[in-house]
Structure 1
């Protein structure tokens, strides 16, 4: 503001709720600039706690603008100046405004407050990845919304980061990976968000759960992420849509693996 796979453990059947998202960073250019391997991503996916998560504390919200209270002042012992400009997202906050992403300086301050050691020169890259993943998550939310809400005025009312709180679905796949390690990956998501979406025409608010996973990297070492976005099972309508999408995707996978036999048609002779 990922179901992760590996070479030994395949992820669950992909569905519309799972969207792989490649890292927006040009790692070849980064490697040429830093004289390091392209596989050396500046983003550390293993913070001190052992569980990667968004560094922004989404629980500390300013009620005036519904954004985290993040300082724009340089941190103690900071050696370089970081941009304080904030990027406007594509995510509507209401009918007349959109959400703003934290500036690189605010992002760095959040890292420092949490005790994460991150080189200052990599902060802008990390902000790019943070913003990119949120844009991808919103696109997935819109895909769900278009199935049931025939208007283009949905907006993100509020959100909450819940790192370390595994959703029931994440726990299920982790258990499946523990029971059948050769078939499923038991790596947990590195972050979780809950987003509440407004449907102005009906007055409804729908909660979405987003699990963020790390996926196998590209051949050049560029990181890949996977987002599992779906409506929370808070009501019958969301349950119905979850079942409907799962059924559609399972059927599409079956048809792709078992195409109908070709029919031989004989042209009649006179």
Structure 2
């Protein structure tokens, strides 16, 4: 009997020892799970903070998109003949035309060049016929998005050309010689002055001084501010008698001509 008692006692102690080991193992695993949960929570929390931080950065970038980095604190000098609200529109065509085409453009904007290349001859035909007048508004969207100052300086040069009565010809020349969007070539005064040689009578000391001095820079900045406040989706924004036709997927130069001529008859 005593040996059996001893064996049974030892066996019970062994089972107790195993149970205690299992409990310790279970406790250790539970602790590891708790640590792992905390670690994952920290990772998720950090990720959320990173995402929120990135979102904040993106928000700031988006908020600054389209803003002109070039500050201009000088007086606002309006180009000769500019009209409209705050004298921010450069007119082309006869004032008595029944149809008005309002164009918001950026000289660095590739989409603006595409529009001009497609519609230029039709617009000239209609303005020459006295059926259409155009109001050009200049923006500096690409400067704000890509950096640089080519949009601003090209717009100033175009305003200088307006002073000389050569806006339309120089406007067309700038688009016909537009550099790649990432190439800020229009930021160079020499480039803008060299292009003026393509327009008869524009390359004068007065024009050169106007370009080099940035005479109309503050006016361009004010025009760009009006663009930002106007709720436009981008450049170009083209309105015929107040209706946005650039968003019309069916619009063509032929259709524009038809609409203008029908309005002229009516």
- Tell me whether the two structures share a fold, i.e. TM-score over 0.5: no
Name the one with the larger helix percent.
2
Higher relative contact order (Cα pairs below 8 Å, separated by 6+ residues): 1
Name the one with the larger strand percent.
1
TM range (shorter): under 0.3
